[in-house]
Amino acid sequence: MADTDAMWYVVHTYSGYENAVATTVEKAAENRGMTDLILEVKIPTETVTELVDGQQKTMERKTFPGYVLIKMVMTDNSWHLVRNVRGVTGFVGSSNKAIPLTEEEIRAMDLETREIVVGYEVGGSVKVIDGPLQGFLGTVEEIETDKSRVRVIVSMFGRETPVDLDFDQIEAVS
């Protein structure tokens, strides 16, 4: 099974059992030689600063109490491994069908960080290779890595026009 088949699934647990479930799933996957099916287990947390007895205390708090996120390749064996862990009440989904998280949900929860390497820089010349401006040449004005967008100045009808494009819509001109 390839890593590309793995998707993020949400597992519902008894409240307070999140850490135990995460540890048990990881150990069971190792013991049964299923680390190629169960790749990652996460408990979403956030860092919170609270004022307790007049003093600030920084602590980790669970973002979604009662839930554990698992990146896994869904097979009968991997489903049964996770489902039969003590403290797991089931996968989020309909009846016995687990529904994976969408790309938008994964991005919103910051589950995966992707390193983006682009072959151009601000001030560099690029060619538009996709979309209605395909074939136009331009100059990179701004790169927004968090949005995977690039602002390119393109000359249209004798005027310099800024255009926002996705990273995969342009390529560097050598």
- 168 located within any domain: yes
- 118 located within any domain: no
Mean pLDDT of the chain: 86
Does one domain contain both 91 and 17?
A: yes
Domain extent at residue 168: 125-172
Does one domain contain both 86 and 19?
A: yes
The count of structural domains within the chain is: 2
- What's the CATH code of the domain at 26? 3.30.70.940
Record the pTM.
0.60
pLDDT at 1: 46
pLDDT at 3: 59
Does one domain contain both 131 and 51?
A: no
- 114 located within any domain: no
- 59 located within any domain: yes
Looking from the CA of 45 toward its CB, the CA atoms found within 13 Å total: 11
Burial of 22 (0-12, 13-18, 19+ CB in 10 A): buried
